[in-house]
């Protein structure tokens, strides 16, 4: 059962990374990548008035977007690797009800990455959605 839970964690983590891959592809297709080639012509609504986005602000936002989600995705890849290792060791019988410290530590790492995502999600994906 422990092995099952660890494997499910890895699979869900990989699902998240696959979705992240689709998102990044869309960003590249729409040229929402910071640098000389950035094209971001959306406007935002200021009580009915459409205001074009300042291109410098768009550069800053997408730099932050890629830096933060990229760092988070890197930690998720590390986490998936850790849990795969834990699952293999658990399947070999290394962990008992009286010794499961590496499992707990892996869980703490994974929860920390999740807490980072809990803050990244509203701040990067939900800001200004009401406009």
Partner 1 sequence: MANHEEHTTHSQGFYLLIGITLLILTATTVGAAFVNLGPFNPVVALLIATIKATLVVLFFMHVKGASEKLTGAVVVSGFFFLAILISLSLADYMTRSWR
Question: How crowded is residue 95: how many other Cβ atoms within 10 Å of its Cβ?
Answer: 18
Q: x/- site string to partner 1, residues 91 to 130, per CB under 8 A?
A: -------xx-x--x--xx--x--xx--xx-xxx--xxxxx
Which 12-31 residues touch partner 1, going by CB under 8 A? none
Residue 12: CB minimum distance to partner 1, A:
12
Nearest CB to partner 1, comparing residues 39 and 131: 131
Mapping DSSP onto H, E and C, the string for the chain reads CHHHHHHHHHHHHHHHHHHHHHHHHHHHHCCCCCCCCCCCCCEEEECCEEEECCHHHHHHHHHHHHHHHHHHHHHHHHHHHHHHHHHHHHHCCCCECCECHHHHHHHHHHHHHHHHHHHHHHHHHHCCCCC
Tell me, by CB under 8 A, how many residues bind partner 1: 20
Nearest CB to partner 1, comparing residues 31 and 45: 45
Q: x/- site string to partner 1, residues 45 to 84, per CB under 8 A?
A: ----------------------------------------
Q: Which residues bind partner 1 (CB under 8 A)?
A: 98-99, 101, 104, 107-108, 111, 114-115, 118-119, 121-123, 126-131
């Amino acid at each position: 059962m422990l092995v099952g839970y660890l494997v499910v964690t890895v699979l869900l983590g990989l699902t998240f990374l696959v979705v992240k891959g689709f998102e990044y592809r869309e960003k590249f297709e729409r040229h929402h990548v910071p640098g000389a080639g950035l094209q971001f012509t959306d406007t935002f609504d200021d009580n009915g008035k459409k205001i074009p986005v300042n291109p410098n602000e768009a550069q800053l936002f997408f730099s932050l977007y890629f830096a933060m989600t990229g760092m988070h995705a890197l930690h998720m890849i590390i986490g998936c690797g850790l849990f795969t290792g834990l699952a293999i060791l658990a399947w070999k019988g290394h962990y008992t009800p009286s010794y499961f410290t590496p499992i707990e530590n892996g869980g703490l790492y994974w929860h920390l990455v999740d807490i980072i995502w809990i803050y990244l999600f509203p701040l990067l994906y939900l800001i200004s959605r009401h406009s």
